Every structure is written in structure tokens, then in C-alpha cells.
A and B are shown apart, each in its own frame.
Chain A
Amino acid sequence: MVLDRRQWHSIDWPTVLGLVVASAFGLLVIYSATQAGPTPYVYKAQIARLLIGMALLGLTMVFDYHTIVDRAEVIYVSVLVVLIYLVLFGGLRAGTNRWLELGFGTFQPGELAKIGVVVFLAKYYSAVRKNHLGSSEVVITGLFAGIPIVLIALQPDLGTAATIAFVYISMALLAGLRTRLLVAGVIAVALAIPLGWSFVLKDYQKERVYAFLDPGRDPRGSGYQSIQSTIAVGSGGFAGKGWLNGTQSQLQFLPAPHTDFVFAVMAEEFGFVGVSTVILLYLVIILRCLDTARRSRDRLGLYLVFGVLSMFVFQTLYNLAMVAGLVPIKGFPLPLMSYGGSSMLATMLGFGLILNVRMRRFVN
């Protein structure tokens, strides 16, 4: 057995506790958000997923992360194969083909791709034994990250694509991306934006950008979600309207109240008190994991933790900013709290890796 008694004791229980508390609170809010709607039973499905997620988390910890990373190429290639399959043959579901139909249900491989890319990049960067990345390394890793980004953007799932891009940039910066390369990259992206606007973005995506720039433009259309979310949050006030008592959520003014806007429901019903508590909880989890990164025994562990964490941070920040009406609406679940199987599994998988690194931080 790879897991001995000492390692069992070195499981980072505070992080596990944080995950469980956040997920349990998420369940509470999901229940409230759906109990008056057409699918009052979804919280049960979420409980099942949470349990599976926890099991996956445990399973990920069993094997040494080095063993896992040794198979990075296999993981990466399998992810690419599935993504290519989706782009070519994926049936449309809700206007996108981000869903993989499995016999027993559906899954979003994009969620798994994030972990795959993190593992792959961690392996690559940890092999670079310099304090700065050379331009060839930047370009090569950029290509490796770029292929899944493009494939996922084609689905189209801009949220996940952006997450992977963010993870790539974060990890490259950590590995020592030179400032002038970063500047060059930013300029390249700035040039690409008008082209992308004309040739890549679909109308509904443009509509969302418009809606963000001026939410009042079409209050029944794309701006509606942003406005309703801000109203839900603002009307929650300091103390909130109380569990099951949010009007915006219970009367179904909020879109996607149990998935992308679960935090808006929470903000409405638990007020600023709930908001600051949950944000603090997320921050504690993040800081704890950063500590894990700092203490990891090798570069691989550090990159691995950091990669997973930057993915988690980006999704969390973006979702909260979206709920607060600060950024355009994108299909971003809030990790841990939002309803959604793929996201839950990917998040637990990621935290499994983080705990794995912490558990094995002592050189044997």
C-alpha cells in the first residue's frame, strides 16, 4: 500500500474541512434555489456527486503525484482525442457541443482537460531547471496549452478556454516568463481581438459583450441576467432575506440560480454576512493551498499545486465578479458551490492532487 499510517496523519484536514463546508453550504443554497422551481430534486444529485467527488479526492491521494505525472502525456493525448471527437461528432446540447454523452449520463471533458493541461505543464516546467523561461519553452508550452484552448473554444465554451489560458499564463509567469515576452504576448492578443471579433465570436457572444458594456440596453435579453443578479445581491442587504426567502431566486427572476448564479442566491438570502463569510472561506482554502505549494518538496509539486490553484482562483474570482456585475456573463460555475457534476469532479480531482503534494512534502 502506498499510503502508510504517517501519510494518513499528514492529510491536510483543514483543507478537506474547508472543501466540505463550502460544498455543504452550496447544497443548502442549491436546495433553496430549486425547491420552488421545476427541478426541486437536484440537490440529491448534487449530494451524490459530492460523495463521488470526495471518493475521487481520496483516490487521487493514494498514488504519489509523481506516479500520476509520469503519465502526463497519456492523459494529455487522451484529453485531446476526446476534445477532437467532440468537435467533430459531438451532438449539440444547449447550443454547444461541450457535452460528452456517456451511457450513464453526460460529462464535460473540458473540465478534465483543465486538469490534464495543469499536469502536463507542471511536468514540463518542473523539468526546466532555470529561473527564467526561454522563448522556445514559452512557445512550446503555449502550443500545448493552445491546442485544447482552441478545441474548447470551438465547442464553444469560452469560459473553460479562458480558464486554461489563465492557468497557462499563471504557470508561465511562475516559471519565469520574461516581462518583454509577456508584453509581446499582450500586444499580440490586442491585435487578435479585432480579428477574433469579426471572424471567431458568434453573435450570441458579441451580444453578451454588448450586454456587459450596457446592461440596460436590452433588459429582457442578455443584460437581463446581469441586472437580475445585481438586484439579487443588492437587495439581500446586510443580513439577507433569509434562507428560502429570496424573492429574486424563489420567484425565478434570477437565471441559472443553482448553477452559475448560485452565489447570487446565497448573497440574496444570507446578505453581506453570508457573502463575506463564504469569500473568507474560499480565501482560507486558497491561502492554505498556497502554503502547500510553498512547502512542496520539489518543483513538480509546487507547479502542480499552483496550476490547480490558479484554475480554482480564476473560476472563483470570475464567477464572483460576474455575480457582482463586474464582468460579462459567461457560463462559469462557482467551484464547490455550483450545481454541476463535471465541475465538481474536476475540482475534487484538483484538490486531490494538492492534498497529495502536501501529504508527501517530506522527503522520505
Chain B
Amino acid sequence: MNVYEDLRPLRSRLAWWRALVVLLFVGLVLRFWQLQVVRSTAYDELARANHVRPIPESAPRGLILDRYGSIIAENRPSFNLTLEEERPDTLEALKQLVPLGDADFDVEKYLREARLDAAILKEDIPLEEVARVEARQLELPGAHIRFVPRRYYPAGIRAAHIVGYVGRMTEEQLQEKDFAGAERNDYVGQSGVERIYNELLMGRNGVQRVVVNSLGRRERVLDQVPPVWGESVQLSMDLELQRVAEEAFAGYAGSVVALDPRNGDVLVMGSFPAYDPNFFSGRFERKKWLDLVNDSEHPLSNRAIQGRYAPGSTFKLVVAAAALEQEIVTPDTEMYCQGSVRMYGNVFHCSKAGGHGRLNLVDALAQSCNSYFYQLGAKLQIETIARYGRLFGLGAPTGVDLPHEVSGLIPDPEWKKSARNEPWYAGETISVAVGQGSVLVTTMQMARLAATVGTSGDIHRPKLFLRKLPVGADPEPYTGTSLQEPIRHVGFRQGTWRALQEGMFRAVNQHGTAGRARLQGVSVAGKTGTAQVASRQRISASADENRPEHLRNHAWFVGFAPRVNPEIAIAVLVEHAGGGGAAAAPVARKIFQAYFEGQRKERVRNGPRQTTMAFH
């Protein structure tokens, strides 16, 4: 064995090999230096992104209260099933565990959302399903139950169009600055007060940073920024009065507005049929949603500010004011009504077939004599009527604090030229003089018109917002009436206002057309109207009540009470109900009655109604 061996060539190759190994090791150390020292901050962030997950905590929205502190909108606890990681296996397992909705359950979409942040698989899941998922938490990596405060409207359908509703923020809204601070998947106000005062109500979301493992299991909470409640908004409306109005409307379509003429406070606003706003904050059900949107009765639209109707005879107040101010007549100027008038080659009928005989302006208002106003219209000309209509704020939004209010229309030759490229016909002026033809108003505008007549010229901006309450403040009644400067004063002569008020008083109290609004002990003033749905020529053969319902006339009532220093002004429109005296006046009467009974009792309430829901 002891043979001499020349190992030198081997040893020299060994030396080369050793140099190579040392070089490679040095290279490795440099690589680790690069990763751990040069780029360590970037990798540290990646490691954090791996295991630190921000879980948003939705801020409860502020309460919405009526003027006496009754709760219109609050929050209830609810649970969402979310998937926070792209895990098809978990999604599959969940599908076996809880019913995950309909055919349009888009697995790919949810997995994509889960990769980005979190996919909400099912909202507002029942407690029984919460328990089922929690029990299998270990087998469902990435699946979580998130606690979310959810909007709840204890009165349901009541005051639906005032309060509006909330809904998941849309893609477009993510960009809008109105919704700055809201996050994807947040519920924001989409309509009504919820929409207009969204910023106040919304609050600020909190965030909880949790440490998760690679299976998505939450190991511990790293830190937490608690959510901040939204501020509460107290409205001028009276939920009790609203109830009376809604019950009075039972079965009819239409709208009603009651204002405080002294300051423009909206006391009642109803649109019928209505919807239950709770539907929008609960679990989204496509079918029900489509039914609601496509309902031919349009329950989602707010008829009080979006429904455009011919004012019918209620417009005579405008025409009468114009005629008095233009000194075409005095309150005592008499004319003769024989039941119809022939003008410009057409026969115009009065509401009373045999005619009213000889009567003055005040009684013409009270009896709603068309003949009298046909003649006023002919003398006034359309431009003057339009000017006075606009003085009353018609043809423009009232500016009430609700979204999507429409303007209505006060027609004049200029409008007709530009809209229809036709000249104005003199006969149209005669129709407009009794509130038919192209003139269109909203219930809100007419309620304010009643208030303006009642206050001899004050024009207020109708408003729902009374005040905001700080976060966590107990709901309390708002006492007193805020006396506010009107935004505008219509400077008619006192005699003009007195004539209109007297006409409206007689309409209710002295065998006028609005007798059904009469109330024991309170001096109610009002004016009825009938808005034609179909043109008279086409259906003249049949009486209104014999027509199919959708062709029947709309019934109007506008009025205020008491006659002197009115406290409440009301406009009621009942669709397809025939004459205004019969259908609309009784609704107004019930509201007047409830209001003044309430006032008599001086509204001693024991504070706000208490409810047992969480988030108080």
C-alpha cells in the first residue's frame, strides 16, 4: 500500500476547485446582503402585506329622527359572510354549507374580489348560518363572518320617500367627491334624506389590523382605529302626522305635503304607493329589486317633488291674484256664468252644468267657477299669467332639501316656440286660466303656494333639516317654532291676499267646493282642483266616474289653517280619484284635524319613543 503516488496534479486541480467554491460562497453572501440589507425594507413591506390584513369596520350611520325625536332610521347588527382569500376550495365548501344564492352566483368574480381585498359572498346572513360557518372555521380558510351595522327603518314603509334609502356604493360613486371617505362595499345614502345628508350621517369607518396566517386564520389583533358614528339628523317632519296622512291615503296613488307656512318646515310628505326602505339595506334580491324598479305604479319615485300634474282649479288662485294686481277686477266685480262660454271658436264648459249665475271673484274662487276665470284669462293674456305663476315659485324647483326635484312648467309663447316650434293659440290661455293645458306643478310647489297665500306673500324654502345632533346625543324633541325670514316676499296688495284667503275660506266653510275639508273649531281655508288626465274633447261623452281608472281625473286640494296666522299649509293630490272636493279634501281634513288636536294637547310627550335595538 505504501506506493509513492504523485498527487501534485490532483492537488493543483483541487486548489482551482477550492477557489471556485470560495467564489461561489462569496457570491451567495453578496446575494443575501442584497436581499437582507439593500432591499430589506421592500421585502419587509411584502412580509407585512402577507400577514397583516386591514379589516374595515363600518361606521354606524347617524340616526334620522322626526321633530319629536322619534326614530325614523337607526342601525341593527348584522353579519356578512366574506371570503378574504382566493380559495376556490373554501368557496366550494361554503356552497355546501350555506345556500349561496341564485344562478348568477359568479365564482370567478368572487375569487377575483377575494384576491384584491374581500368578497362579500352573502349579506345579512341568518344567525343559524353564522353558527354553521363559525363551527367549521378551521376547515374554511379565508372565510370570515364580518359584523356590519345595517340600516334599519323601524317604521318600515312610513315616510319612505323622505328618508330615502341606502345602498351599496356604485362604481361611479367611488369616484364622486360626495362620497369621499366611503369605501368599496360601503352602504351610502342613495335617495331622500339619506342621500342629501349622507356626508353628515355617514361617519368614518374604522380599521382593525389583524395578523393572519397563510390559511387566513386570524392570529391576533395588531392595532385598531375604532369607527366613528355618523351624526344624527333631526328632521322637521312629524312622524305621527305622517302616519295620519298615510292612513288617509290608503289605497290611492298620489302625494301629500304639509308645510309650516311660518318657516317652510316640511311636516308631512308622502308619495303613494311607497316602498319599504328596509328592502334596500337588507340582502340584495335581484328579483324583488327588478319588481320594484319595473312596477308600473313607480313606488320608488317621489311624486311630491317629481310628479308633474296639471294644477286644475287650484291654479285659479294665481289667475285671481294676477287679475286683482293688474286691476282687471276687484274682489267684488261680478260676472255671469251660464254654464259655458264660447271663445275663439270653442265652447268652454263650467264645472256646474247649469251655470253659477251672477257671482263675484271671491265666490268664483269658492265655487270654482270656470266661466269667470275663462274671461279673466282672456283679459290677462298668457304672459301675465305666467309672470304671476312664477312669482308664486311655480315652474321652478322649490329647493327642498331632497334630491331630484323637478321644475314643473309654466307655459308661455316663448316656451312653446322653443319646445314645440308652434305659435301660442289664444284658446290655450283660456285652458291655462283654469289650470289645464300645458301648465304642470308639483305637490310641493302647491303646498308652498298655499302657505304663501296664507301668510300673505311669504315664500320659504321648504326644508326637512331641523338640526344635527352630535354623535351619541340622545334623541330629544325639538320644541318651539323657528321663525325664519322668508327667502322672498310677494308684495301684493293686502286686498289681493284678503280676497284669495276669503275665497278659500268660503270654499271650505260656505257651501264651496272644499266643504269636506271643514273642521269644527278651526278655520280652514282651501281650494280644490281637478286635473284632467285626458283631453276633454276626446272623452266628453262619458262622465268622469264612468271612465276607466287610468283616464279618471286627478283630485287636488290646497289649503291652510287657521285662516289668520296659519300654522300648517297642505297640498294633496290623489291620482285618478275624480273631483278634488270629494277625494282630496277629506285627506287634508284628517291631517288638519290631527295637527290641531295635537296642538291642543300641547304635544306633551314623554320624550322620544324608546326602541330596543342596538346602537343607541
Q: Enumerate chain A interface residues (CB-CB to B < 8 A).
A: 66, 129, 131, 170, 173-176, 220, 228, 230-238, 247-248, 250-253, 267, 271-272, 275-276, 279, 282-283, 286-287, 290, 293-294, 296, 298-299, 302, 306, 313, 317, 320-321, 324-326, 363
User: Would you mind naming 16 contact pairs between A and B with Cβ atoms under 8 Å apart?
Assistant: A129-B5, A131-B9, A173-B17, A232-B47, A234-B39, A237-B36, A238-B40, A247-B47, A247-B51, A253-B213, A279-B25, A279-B29, A286-B21, A287-B22, A294-B11, A326-B31
* Smallest CB gap from B50: residue in A: A253
- Verify A276–B40 contact, CB threshold 8 A: no
A66: B residues at CB distance < 8 A: 1
Can you add 11 more A-B contacts, CB < 8 Å, to A234-B40, A251-B212?
Answer: A129-B5, A170-B17, A174-B13, A234-B36, A252-B213, A253-B214, A290-B14, A299-B7, A299-B10, A302-B14, A321-B31
Q: Is B415 an interface residue (CB 8 A)?
A: no
Q: Mark B200-226 against chain A: 1 for CB-CB distance below 8 A, else 0.
A: 000000000001111100010000000
Other-chain residue from A173, A235, A279, A299 in contact with B28 (beta carbon distance below 8 A): A279
- Verify B28–A320 contact, CB threshold 8 A: yes
In the assembled complex, the CB of B28 is this many whole angstroms from the nearest CB of chain A, namely: 5
A287: B residues at CB distance < 8 A: 18, 22
The answer for the CA separation of A286 and B22 in the assembled complex, in Å, is: 9
Which B residues from 181 to 197 make CB contacts under 8 A with A?
A: none
Which B residues from 76 to 104 make CB contacts under 8 A with A?
A: 86
Q: Is B42 an interface residue (CB 8 A)?
A: yes
The answer for the CA separation of A170 and B9 in the assembled complex, in Å, is: 15
- Verify A363–B2 contact, CB threshold 8 A: yes
Q: Enumerate chain B interface residues (CB-CB to A < 8 A).
A: 1-3, 5, 7, 9-11, 13-14, 17-18, 21-22, 24-25, 28-29, 31-33, 35-37, 39-40, 42-44, 46-48, 50-51, 86, 211-215, 219
B11: A residues at CB distance < 8 A: 294
In the assembled complex, the CB of B72 is this many whole angstroms from the nearest CB of chain A, namely: 46
In the assembled complex, the CB of B9 is this many whole angstroms from the nearest CB of chain A, namely: 5
Other-chain residue from B2, B7, B35, B219 in contact with A251 (beta carbon distance below 8 A): B219
The answer for the CA separation of A318 and B14 in the assembled complex, in Å, is: 20
Interface SS of chain A: helix, strand, loop or mixed? helix
A248: B residues at CB distance < 8 A: 47, 50-51
- Verify A267–B32 contact, CB threshold 8 A: yes
* Smallest CB gap from B49: residue in A: A231
B17: A residues at CB distance < 8 A: 170, 173-174, 290, 306
In the assembled complex, the CB of A187 is this many whole angstroms from the nearest CB of chain B, namely: 22
- Verify B43–A230 contact, CB threshold 8 A: yes
Number of A-B contacts (CB under 8 A): 130
Interface SS of chain B: helix, strand, loop or mixed? helix
The answer for the CA separation of A271 and B42 in the assembled complex, in Å, is: 15
- Verify A251–B44 contact, CB threshold 8 A: no
Given contacts A299-B5, A317-B24, contact A276 B46 (CB under 8 A): no
The answer for the CA separation of A275 and B35 in the assembled complex, in Å, is: 11
- Verify A283–B32 contact, CB threshold 8 A: no
Given contacts A173-B13, A220-B86, A251-B211, contact A234 B44 (CB under 8 A): yes
The answer for the CA separation of A292 and B346 in the assembled complex, in Å, is: 127
A296: B residues at CB distance < 8 A: 7
B86: A residues at CB distance < 8 A: 220
* Smallest CB gap from B42: residue in A: A234
In the assembled complex, the CB of A275 is this many whole angstroms from the nearest CB of chain B, namely: 5
The answer for the CA separation of A251 and B10 in the assembled complex, in Å, is: 49
B213: A residues at CB distance < 8 A: 250-253
Given contacts A272-B37, A293-B14, contact A231 B22 (CB under 8 A): no
The answer for the CA separation of A66 and B9 in the assembled complex, in Å, is: 22
Other-chain residue from B1, B21, B37 in contact with A238 (beta carbon distance below 8 A): B37
B32: A residues at CB distance < 8 A: 233, 267, 272, 275-276, 279, 324
